[in-house]
Every structure is written in C-alpha cells, then in structure tokens.
Amino acid sequence: MLIIGIAGGTGCGKTTVVNQIINELPDDEVCVISQDSYYNDLSHLPLEERRKTNFDHPLSIDFKLLKQHLEELRQGNTIQQPVYSFLECNRTAETVPTEPRKVVIVEGILIMTDPEIRKMMDIKIFVHADSDERLIRRIKRDVNERGWNLDETLEKYQSTIKPMHAEFIEPSKEYADIIIPNNKHNTVAIDIVRTIINEKLV
Ligand SMILES: Nc1ncnc2c1ncn2[C@@H]1O[C@H](COP(=O)(O)OP(=O)(O)O)[C@@H](O)[C@H]1O
Ligand SMILES: Nc1ccn([C@@H]2O[C@H](COP(=O)(O)O)[C@@H](O)[C@H]2O)c(=O)n1
C-alpha cells in the first residue's frame, strides 16, 4: 500500500489536485481520506458555539482516529470514514465505508503537522498557491457552499485562518517531498505525480 499525503493551505487546490491524480487511476486501486472527516466530534456543543471553533488549529482534528483508520487500512480492513457537515460544523451520524486500496490519499491542511501521521506517508506533497489567490477562492466557497457570509469569512481569515497558516501549515511544507505550484492549473506536476505513483505500484 502506498500512502500519499497532500497538504497545503485552505483553497490551494488540494481537492482539485487529488481529483486530477485519481482520474487516471482505476477506482479499485485508490481511496481518499479527507482530514475534514476527522474534525473532532462537537455534538456536545450547540451550533452557535461550534461555529466559534478554531478549525485551523491542529487540536481541532481527531488525529488519534485518523491514525487508527490508516493503520486499519494498512492491515487490509475496511474503515467507516466519518462524514463531516460544514453547515452543521460537526460530524453527521453517517459514515462511508472506505476499503483498503493500493493507493491511499490523505488530504488536508494540517495532515503534515502530525509527526505520527507524517511517518505513515510514503510520499508527502504540498500544494502551494499564493495567499491572495487562496483568499479569493476561499471567500467564493465559504459564501456559496459553506454557510458563512463575507464579513464572517474575512473575520475568520484574519483571526484564525491566516495566523494558523503561518504557525502550523506553511512550516509543514518543509517535510514535503514534492511542492506543486497551483496558482494556475499545473498539468505537468500532476503528470509527474501520476508517473511516480505508477512506478511505485508496479
Ligand atoms: N489551479 C487552480 N486555478 C484556479 N482555480 C482553482 C485551481 N485549483 C483549485 N481551484 C479552485 O479553487 C477552489 C478551491 O479548490 P479546492 O481544490 O477545493 O482547494 P482545497 O481543497 O485546497 O481547499 C475551487 O473552486 C477550485 O475549483
Ligand atoms: N465547519 C468548518 C470546518 C472547517 N472549515 C474550514 O475548512 C478549511 C479546511 O478545508 P479546505 O477544504 O479549505 O482544505 C479550514 O481552513 C477551516 O477554516 C470551515 O470553514 N468550517
């Protein structure tokens, strides 16, 4: 099994890159684990309180469960990946059965900040986009899809997203084997990553 970590700041294009990588791989050879699925269970708090959480700090993630799930997959077992609701700011009651595959992609802003998760990765990729580009993408997405208005998004950006990026996410770039520049779509980098995966798979 090949475990590939894909990190990078919010809006850098991680999900897009993952989709481009897996496009060419057969469905039964790859599975994706999203860090978002592993936000801590906040069911004990009302929605109003949950919305105040710092979702860009490593402590917001249940790394213990993520590690346990990666180990299960390595042992050939199917896991029940939690399903996260951005609107509810919490895990839902549903889970998605995720079967072990030859290639397991783990993606998320903070996945390379945890030493134990890092150690489990065979290839570590950091997707880079400039902060102005990421902020523009983030505003569009938060307002259109994730239930935040413009003022809330800008306030969050200044109070947590930007400082957490500087403190935790950007420094984790030093652990990357490959850095993908993604201010614009980067088909060359995607082809290189695909080639590396295919070489490792034979
Ligand atoms: N290279 C790119 N050029 C332009 N827009 C992009 C690029 N990569 C991603 N996007 C767009 O930016 C937004 C955030 O991308 P996404 O892949 O969800 O980022 P992340 O998972 O890192 O938060 C999406 O609307 C996506 O279509
Ligand atoms: N309820 C939540 C939980 C997290 N976020 C933000 O998601 C970002 C990480 O996801 P990406 O797809 O951007 O990598 C992170 O910056 C959190 O602030 C949220 O908006 N609402």
Query: Is the reported ipTM for this assembly greater than 0.90?
Result: yes
pLDDT at 25: 86
pLDDT at 26: 85
Give the pLDDT confidence of 32-46 residue by residue, as tens digits.
999 999 999 999 999
The CA-CA-CA angle for residues 143, 148, 149, to 5°, reads: 70
Pocket of ligand 2 (CB under 6 A): 10-11, 14, 36, 39, 55-56, 86, 89, 109, 146, 161
Give the pLDDT confidence of 57-109 residue by residue, as tens digits.
999 999 999 999 999 999 999 999 999 999 999 999 999 999 999 999 999 99
Q: Which atom in ligand 2 lies closest to the alpha carbon of residue 148?
A: 20
Q: Are 100 and 70 in contact (CB under 8 A)?
A: no
Token pair for residue 51? 């919305």
Q: Is the CB of 119 under 6 A from ligand 1?
A: no
pLDDT at 200: 79
Give the pLDDT confidence of 43-59 residue by residue, as tens digits.
999 999 999 999 999 99
Task: Give the distance (Å) from ligand 1 centre to CA of residue 184.
Answer: 9
Ranges 4-8, 20-24, 53-57: which has the least confidence = 20-24
Task: Give the distance (Å) from ligand 2 centre to CA of residue 163.
Answer: 14
Q: Report the relative pairing of strands 103-107 and 2-7 from DSSP bridges.
A: parallel
Task: Give the distance (Å) from ligand 2 centre to CA of residue 11.
Answer: 9
Which residue's CA is minimally distant from atom 19 of ligand 1?
13
* 3-class state of residue 140 by DSSP: helix
Is the domain covering 2-201 a CATH 3.40.50.300 domain?
yes
Q: How many CB atoms lie within 10 A of CB 194?
A: 16
Task: Give the distance (Å) from ligand 1 centre to CA of residue 75.
Answer: 33
Q: Look at the block and give the residue holding tokens 């936000």.
A: 39
Domain ranges of the chain: 2-201
Q: Which atom in ligand 2 lies closest to the alpha carbon of residue 146?
A: 20
Which residue's CA is minimally distant from atom 21 of ligand 2?
86
Give the pLDDT confidence of 113-125 residue by residue, as tens digits.
999 999 999 999 9
